[in-house]
Structure 1
Amino acid sequence: MEALEALKYIGFSIKSIEWEDSVEILSIAATAKLTVYDSTYVYLAKKLNAQLVTADRQMKRSCGNITRVTLLGELNGWRFNSNESSLAKLFPM
């Protein structure tokens, strides 16, 4: 519970998805050839006018015309060890 409490102090928020949102999410999934799970993140980034950060190059290629997508390795001061699959493998430079 302490971890959840701490999240609100760093600007973390939880957004709900409404049933009506599913039409656009499914459209993104079909158009971009992504999973519904990934398409939900793309949809939320678009809806919130937020930048989507991912390590998935295919996602960037297929969604760059839908919302702003940046590869994790393109962020200043960070590098991503592509041999590892966990975000815990991010290292500040």
Structure 2
Amino acid sequence: MSRDEVKYYIDHMDANGLLNLCNDINEWKYKYGKLKPDCTLNHLAENLQYWELRDLEELILNAAHEKFGNLVSLLIKSEPSIYIK
């Protein structure tokens, strides 16, 4: 798939799918330093035949900012000490 097609696909994912991808990115970047072989992000890359994982990360996070931005703002405003340490 082209980058534009992948972006369209990610932009139109349901919230649960997008959340699973964000969890994979968090584990990859901040917990384990690598992707689990059976993670959602690897399955997405395989299904879409799009192996630019850093590019997928950017597309996923941009979609998450758009879809979950108000929720993140609400959570931070309601209990900032949980998120700001």
Using the size of structure 2 for normalisation, the TM-score is 0.28
Q: Which has the higher contact order (CA 8 A, sep 6+)?
A: 2
Higher strand share: 1
Greater Cα radius of gyration, structure 1 or 2 = 1
